[in-house]
Structure 1
C-alpha cells in the first residue's frame, strides 16, 4: 500500500476538500485526485463522495480512516527507530572487563543524556563488517595488525595506551618485585589462554615474544578470567599479563600481585574505529571526549608493535 496515497487520504479527510489537502501537502489538486483514485483501486472501494461543499467520506472511508492514521504512525515509528540521533549510540568494547568498557563508562558519566548500547564482538573483521553495515557505530580495537587492514571508508583514532602489568601468585619467583623488566621475564612461563590465533591481540603478543624472547603459552581451554586467576594463584611457575584497566576481582586468599613491567613498558594501543560517513550525532561527542585523554604516540620508555604505530 502506497504510504503517500494513505497520507493524502488522511489529509483530504481532515481538510474536507482536495484543494486544501493539495496545499497542505505541497502538490497539485490533480495529484491528490490521482493518489486517492489509486488507493480506491487498491482497496476496491470508494473512499470519498464529491459534494458541492467538497469531499465527504463514504462509509468505507470512515471505516478506513482510523487504520490509515495508525499506518502513518507505525511508519513514523519505524523510520525513527533507525534514524541517527533517535536510537542509542552502539559501541563494541570487545569485553565488558576491558579498557574499552571503562572508557565508555567514563563517557556515560560525562554525558548521561546520551543513550548508549554497548555490545561485545570478538573479531576485528566482524566489528568492521558491523560498522560498515550500520549495525554498530564504533568499536575499540588495536588497528593495523597484519592481515587486517582497515577499508578506506573506515577510520580510526588512538584513544588509549594501556600499560601491561605482570600478575603472579604469592609463591612466584617474581612475586616480591616492585617492578620487573622484560629481560627479567625471559625464561618465565606466561600463561594467556585467551589469545586466539588471528586476532589483533594475538598479533600483539606474537611481536612481543619475537622482540624480547618471552615465553607466552596459550595452551588449554579458556574458562575465563576467574579460572585464569585461580590457576595463577595456585601455580608458582605461571604468571600472566593483565592490562592496567582490567576490572577483575579475586579472593584475598589468592594473594595475587600486580607488578609493573619496565625496560621498556609494553602498552596495548586502543583505537576507536568508525565509518567516515556515520551520521549519528553522538559519535563526534564520543570522539571529542576520548580525544581529551588520548595518549601522545610512542611515549618514551614504552613499546608497541610497529604495525600499531599509526593506529
Structure 2
C-alpha cells in the first residue's frame, strides 16, 4: 500500500479540504486527488465524499482512518529506530583482552553514557567480519585486512597499531632483558597456540617469522589464556607474543615478564572496518577519539607489507 497515499488520506480527513491538504503536503490538488483515487481503488471502497464545503469521510473512511494513522505511526517509529544515533553503536572488538577492546573502553570512559555495545563476534577471519559489517550485523569491526581485500561499500582505516611484547617466565634466558630485538628471538621457540591458517593473524605471524627468521608455532590445542600462562611460568624455553595494550592476568607466583621489542618494533595493525556511508554519530566520535589518542609510533616500526598501503 502506498504510504504517501495513506498520508494524503489522513491529511484530507483532518483538514476537510483537498486544497488544504495539498498546501500542507506541498503538492498540487491534482496530486491529492490522484492519490486518493488510487487508495480507493486499492481498498475497493469510497473513503471520502466530496461536498460543496469540501470533503467528509464516508462510513468506510471512518473505519479506515484509525488504521491508517496506526500504519503511519508504525512507519515513523521504524524510521526513528534506525536513524543515526537512535540505537547503540555495535563494535566488534575481536577479543575483550586485547588492544581494540581497551581502546573502545577508554573511549567510553572519556564519554560517560555513550550508547555503544562492544561485542565479540564468532567470526573466523577478517573477510567474514567485513561481511558482517556490510550486512549490518555490527557497525564496525577491528581487523587486520589488506586494502585489496576490503569489500565494496566498506571503509578501512588503520587507527590502532599494537606494538608487540615478549611474554615469558622467570626461567627464560631473556627474562631479565630490558628489551629485545626480533633478531634476539632467533632460535627461541615462540608459542602462540590456536592460530588458524585462514586467519589474518596467521598471515601476520607468518610474515613476521619470515622477515626475521623466527620460529613461531601454534602446535597443540589452545586451552585458554590461563593454561598458556601456566605453561610459560613452568618453562625455561617457551615465550609468546602479546600486544602492549593487551590485558592478561596471572598469579603473582608465576612472575611472568613482559619484554618490549625494539630495533625494530613489530606492530599489529588493527584496522577499523565500517560501512562507507555510515553516519552514526558515535562511530564518528570513536574514530576521532582513536586518531587523537593513538600512542606515539616508535620510529623503528615494522609492519606487514600490506599494512603500508
Note the C-alpha offset of 1:295: 5.6
Note the C-alpha offset of 1:206: 0.8
Cα 1:66–1:251 shift into 2, 3 Å: farther
Aligned mate of 1:124, from 126, 129, 149 = 126
Note the C-alpha offset of 1:183: 3.1
Residue 196 of structure 1: SS of its match in structure 2? coil
* TM-score computed with the length of structure 1 as normaliser: 0.86
Cα 1:64–1:153 shift into 2, 3 Å: closer
Residue 204 of structure 1: SS of its match in structure 2? helix
Note the C-alpha offset of 1:167: 1.4
Q: Are 2:93 and 1:93 equivalent residues in the alignment?
A: yes
Note the C-alpha offset of 1:152: 6.3
Q: Are 2:150 and 1:150 equivalent residues in the alignment?
A: yes
Once residues 27 and 62 of structure 1 are traced to their aligned partners in structure 2, the CA distance between those partners, rounded to angstroms, is 24
Once residues 36 and 277 of structure 2 are traced to their aligned partners in structure 1, the CA distance between those partners, rounded to angstroms, is 39
1:144-293 correspondence to structure 2 within 5 Å? 144=146, 149-151=149-151, 154-293=154-293
User: Is the Cα–Cα contact under 8 Å of residues 194 and 218 in structure 1 kept in the other structure?
Assistant: yes
Aligned-pair Cα RMSD in Å: 2.6
Cα 1:50–1:300 shift into 2, 3 Å: closer
User: Is the Cα–Cα contact under 8 Å of residues 142 and 270 in structure 2 kept in the other structure?
Assistant: yes
Partner of residue 307, structure 1 = 306
User: Is the Cα–Cα contact under 8 Å of residues 116 and 282 in structure 2 kept in the other structure?
Assistant: no
Once residues 58 and 239 of structure 2 are traced to their aligned partners in structure 1, the CA distance between those partners, rounded to angstroms, is 81
- Answer with 12-21 or 109-118: which moved more: 109-118
Once residues 60 and 305 of structure 1 are traced to their aligned partners in structure 2, the CA distance between those partners, rounded to angstroms, is 70
Cα 1:69–1:223 shift into 2, 3 Å: farther
Once residues 266 and 142 of structure 1 are traced to their aligned partners in structure 2, the CA distance between those partners, rounded to angstroms, is 14
Unaligned stretches of 5+ residues in structure 2: none
Note the C-alpha offset of 1:154: 4.1
Note the C-alpha offset of 1:5: 1.6
Once residues 214 and 19 of structure 2 are traced to their aligned partners in structure 1, the CA distance between those partners, rounded to angstroms, is 82
Residue 161 of structure 2: SS of its match in structure 1? strand
Measured against aligned partners, the alpha-carbon deviations of 1:17-42 in whole angstroms (never above 9, x if no partner) come to 22211211122223223322332333
User: Is the Cα–Cα contact under 8 Å of residues 190 and 217 in structure 1 kept in the other structure?
Assistant: yes
Note the C-alpha offset of 1:114: 4.2
Cα 1:296–1:237 shift into 2, 3 Å: closer
User: Is the Cα–Cα contact under 8 Å of residues 160 and 293 in structure 1 kept in the other structure?
Assistant: no
Once residues 261 and 31 of structure 2 are traced to their aligned partners in structure 1, the CA distance between those partners, rounded to angstroms, is 74
Q: Are 2:32 and 1:35 equivalent residues in the alignment?
A: no
Partner of residue 74, structure 1 = 74
